[in-house]
Amino acid sequence: MKKLLTIAALLITLTAHAQALRKRTTMLMGARFDITIVAKDSLTAERSIDTVITEITRIENLISDWIPSSQVSQVNAHAGIRPVRVDKEVFGLTERAIALSELTGGAFDISFAAMDRIWKFDGSMTRMPTKAAIQKSVEKVGYKNIILDRGQSTIFLKYKGMKIGFGALGEGYATDKCRDMMLEKGINAGIVNGSGDMSAWGKQPDGSDWVIGINDPAKSGELFAIVPLREGAVVTSGSYEKFVVLNGKRYSHIINPATGYPATGLTSVTVFGPSAEQANGFSTSIMVLGKKAGLEMLAKFPEFSCLLITDKGKVVTSPNFDISRYKTDQ
């Protein structure tokens, strides 16, 4: 999944209060990671960034399905053959992903990795795939066929050809892990941003909150809101650029894994909350579920809030998020 609503971290690079802020950008997990650390001095900040990169690389080598030696790749390679023993960390991530699938009725499903790519969003698609082709594309998708054995810490994919993949959920998990690691090491402020999956903690060197800018859907390149991010995460799922219009209807590049049809009705979903991993799962699910069902689902988790943009450009928020407080045109 690709986040296409631009979330710009508005960082003030200051050295007040004898603190140093350092930033670095690198490619990890197939995505861009922007790492910002505030520490007592520049050397500590730079070394902390090195530690974050090492941790993300470790996670990548565990769960990335494009690395043949990863535990997830081994699970996929033995689909329909036998269970594969994995680390507790990988097992726990899989278990939480399946719980989200159950919560959303399959709107979120890590076994989407086996889906046939019959939808094209590069401008080449001019007609709808047939119903039969769409049904066939999801034949090997189904979270209920992921068999977990907690006692043995094994994962078994019931049928040959099945695959699992964590995609951006893994990026969210990595940003959360790095935030927690930095706090344990006494690094009290920073942001880890994995291609739009953002975990933040502490404050900027001048004592102000970290803030993010949210693009105005009606005015390209302009911000319509600036939102403080305090000890939490923000994730956006969207289809501002990757979509196709067929017979006058707009289809998102985000596919419903339960049906094989693209999501419709929303162009962007931004979720705020304590965990980037959970926020990522929620944002993807809401894109698929749509406005009404998505808001009903998120209402069960009051520590999370969201901002939705419909296909027609209307801005909708969860009841616990007052966007009017943060609009730039006030």
In this structure, are 144 and 53 located in the same domain?
Answer: no
Judge whether 173 lies within some domain. no
% of the chain at pLDDT higher than 90: 67
Structure tokens at 248: 């006058």
Reduced to 3 states, what is the DSSP secondary structure of residue 42? helix
Structure confidence by residue, pLDDT tens digits, 301-315: 999 999 999 988 899
Amino acid 328: pLDDT: 78
- H or E, element range at 214: strand 210-215
Q: How far lies 220's CA from each of 137, 204, 238, 330, in Å?
A: 35, 28, 15, 19
Mean pLDDT over residues 83-88, rounded? Answer: 98
Q: Is the pLDDT of residue 8 over 60?
A: no
Which range, of 32-36, 164-168, 230-234, 280-284, averages the lowest pLDDT? Answer: 230-234
Q: Is pLDDT at 6 greater than 70 in this prediction? A: no
Tokens 């994919």 -> residue: 157
pLDDT above 70 covers a percentage of the chain that reads 92
Contact between 262 and 161 under an 8 Å Cβ cutoff? The reply is no
Q: What confidence score (pLDDT) does residue 237 get?
A: 87
Q: Write the pLDDT tens digit of every residue in 98-136.
A: 999 999 999 999 999 998 888 887 778 888 889 999 899
Q: How many domains does the chain have?
A: 2
Judgement on whether residues 38 and 107 belong to the same structural domain of the protein? no
CATH number of the structural domain spanning residue 318: 3.10.520.10
User: What is the per-residue DSSP string for 262-328?
Assistant: BP-SEEEEEEEES-HHHHHHHHHHHHHH-HHHHHHHHTT-TT-EEEEEETT--EEE-TT--GGGTBT
Last residue of a domain, one of 119, 144, 167: 167
The last residue of one of the domains, among 147, 167, 187, is 167
242 shares its domain with 278: yes
Angle between helices 42-63 and 167-184 (to 10 degrees): 140
Answer yes or no: do 191 and 307 share one domain. Answer: yes
Please tell me whether residues 186 and 305 are part of one structural domain: yes
pLDDT, tens only, 180-189: 999 999 999 9
CATH of the domain at 138: 1.10.3980.10
| Two tokens, residue 210 | 């970290």
pLDDT tens string 147-161: 999 999 999 999 999
Q: Are strands 315-317 and 233-238 parallel, antiparallel or unpaired?
A: unpaired
Same-domain check for residues 84 and 106: yes
Q: In terms of domains, do 128 and 36 share one?
A: no
Instruction: Name the pLDDT band for 246 (thresholds 50, 70, 90).
Output: confident
Computed over every residue of the chain, the mean pLDDT equals 90
Give the per-residue pLDDT at 88.
Answer: 97
Q: How far apart are CA 36 and CA 45, in angstroms?
A: 9
Neighbours of 135 (CB within 10 A): 12
Q: Which domain range does residue 108 map to?
A: 71-167
- Among 77-91, 220-234, 294-308, where is mean pLDDT lowest? 220-234
